Structure 1
């Protein structure tokens, strides 16, 4: 019987590779790095309109770009935030930068020229009125003989 030398760091390295592989398969690959700012969205539908609420703390209204098509809404912006504190001779600086873009598909067409927006305390509220459903057109087709 031969003796085998135990190397604990090799076992730890193997465990770390296995955990990385596990997380890589569990997390969606969207091309984004972990920690990317993706603001949460709440969307409610009523018979007359969609009500959308987007949480974007630390972003000013002028830094938001909102585009509405008949069947989707795109919201993008950039967060630029810096804080600096000095206490007992220590200086502490924190910053958060990052761009985001959310495209939300809608289940019905909206009147994109009548969208109302309100931004207060880091919450963007949008009211997207639904478009009137198009009536079925009946067209008579003449058959040439």
Structure 2
């Protein structure tokens, strides 16, 4: 029984055949589409911290909403440039948007959530409810 697939007279596909396929690696490549910003989520004893990397934006570019335990971070930027020089007119349009949603655990205190944008990173601080915080260790003495 032969388990190696033979293609184009060769036993292994060419690396170049794979690199220059229109769906490289099985994905459709669209170089004009903006990427979704990467997110780091860290849990500490007192809170969850969300960090979203979005350099080149302003703090007013972000829309952060919480609805029924769903945290949604989105941004939409539109711009249009018109340059007229003599007989030439150049119009350029750009549009960039993204939307990320995360289901919040029930332990998050939604009334105390804070956000800040600094050095290209949007940081969202999601504190835990008091009942979700770790309890202090108690020492119980045994009576005679």
Question: TM-score, normalized by length of structure 2?
Answer: 0.56
CA distance in 2, matches of 1:105, 1:33: 28
Structure 2 residue 125 is matched with structure 1 residue 127:
yes
Aligned length: 105
* Greater fraction of residues in helix: 1
1:19 corresponds to: 21
Q: State the SS of the aligned residue for 1:20.
A: coil
Cα pair 1:70 1:112 within 8 Å, conserved: no
1:112 corresponds to: 110
**What is the deviation of 1:105?**
2.3
CA distance in 2, matches of 1:80, 1:22: 30
Q: State the SS of the aligned residue for 1:101.
A: strand
**What is the deviation of 1:46?**
1.3
2:51 corresponds to: 53
String of CA shifts for 1:56-105, please: whole Å, max 9, x gaps.
1121111210012463311001245799xxxxxxxxxx985311101122
Q: State the SS of the aligned residue for 1:62.
A: helix
String of CA shifts for 1:11-59, please: whole Å, max 9, x gaps.
xxxx69x933664xx33x8xx9553231111110112210111111121
Unaligned runs of 5+ in 2: 1-16, 82-91, 133-144
Q: Which runs of 4+ in 1 moved over 4 A?
A: 80-83
CA-atom RMSD in angstroms? 3.4
